[in-house]
Chain A
Amino acid sequence: DVKVTQSSRYLVKRTGEKVFLECVQDMDHENMFWYRQDPGLGLRLIYFSYDVKMKEKGDIPEGYSVSREKKERFSLILESASTNQTSMYLCASLPTGTPDGTQYFGPGTRLLVL
């Protein structure tokens, strides 16, 4: 089974702090994604990466950056956390060549910014 893990289930940070969210997948997938989940808005794509050191902006990249130095690891960075970044963050992965685009999700990190 594909396993996608995220470094923390719950995180509390203060406004202005730099925050790192880590995601690791164990199935050698080329593509990785970061989403945020908010009630009534579903999941919105922040950034994705289709290869090591490659990244593309999703629908809501403002206030975020990402890093993909190794194939199995995709990090989401909040350079200066703000209260409107309080949310659930979900990481996903996907192998290239998947005919239907099924993504595999981690358990999520619930971030509270005070």
Chain B
Amino acid sequence: GNSVTQMEGPVTLSEEAFLTINCTYTATGYPSLFWYVQYPGEGLQLLLKATKADDKGSNKGFEATYRKETTSFHLEKGSVQVSDSAVYFCALSLNDYKLSFGAGTTVTVRA
């Protein structure tokens, strides 16, 4: 079946630190890959996505590259801010419109 494994948290960082959240997947086929973010008290919103191998998704200073050879889609940001404190979810979708999510990683950035 399809599954997503992401780095366990929680992660606590200082402002301007480098953030990496690891995500690997198992899928029967060639999925689209996503990072969703959930800010405190809100629903999920799409952060970035990639639809094929070697694509790089980017948004708000975050980046992730679709690596087919390692079945990974790690999220990175070079300099985090307090406003980046949130829960981050890695997810995949095949052609059936359903999303499979990882467990989520809670990130706290301290000033």
Contact = CB atoms under 8 A, between A and B. Distances in A.
Contacts of A43: 44, 89, 99, 101
Interface stretch (B13-21, B45-53, B69-77): B45-53
Interface size class of B (residues with CB under 8 A): 20 to 34
The interface centre, meaning the residue of A4, A33, A40, A42 with most chain B CB atoms within 10 A of its CB, is A42
Contacts of B32: 100-101
The interface centre, meaning the residue of A4, A50, A101 with most chain B CB atoms within 10 A of its CB, is A101
Contacts of A45: 98-99
A98 to B, nearest CB: 8
A31 B89 CA distance: 21
Given A101-B97, A102-B46, A42 B34 contact: no
Interface string A74-85: 000000000000
Q: In terms of DSSP, what is the predominant structure of the interface of chain B?
A: strand
A98 B44 CA distance: 18
Q: In terms of DSSP, what is the predominant structure of the interface of chain A?
A: loop
Given A100-B32, A100-B93, A107-B43, A48 B51 contact: no
A100 B49 contact: yes
B97 A50 contact: yes
Contacts of A107: 41-43
Contact of A102 (B42, B49, B104): B49
Contacts of B11: none
B97 to A, nearest CB: 5
Contacts of A105: 36, 43-45
10 contacts: A42-B104, A43-B101, A44-B101, A96-B97, A99-B51, A100-B49, A101-B94, A105-B43, A107-B41, A107-B42
Given A4-B43, A40-B104, A48-B98, 15 more contacts: A42-B101, A42-B102, A44-B101, A48-B97, A90-B43, A94-B97, A96-B97, A98-B97, A100-B32, A100-B93, A102-B34, A102-B49, A105-B36, A105-B44, A108-B43
Q: Which 7 A-B pairs have the closest CB atoms?
A: A101-B93, A42-B101, A105-B43, A105-B44, A100-B32, A43-B101, A107-B43
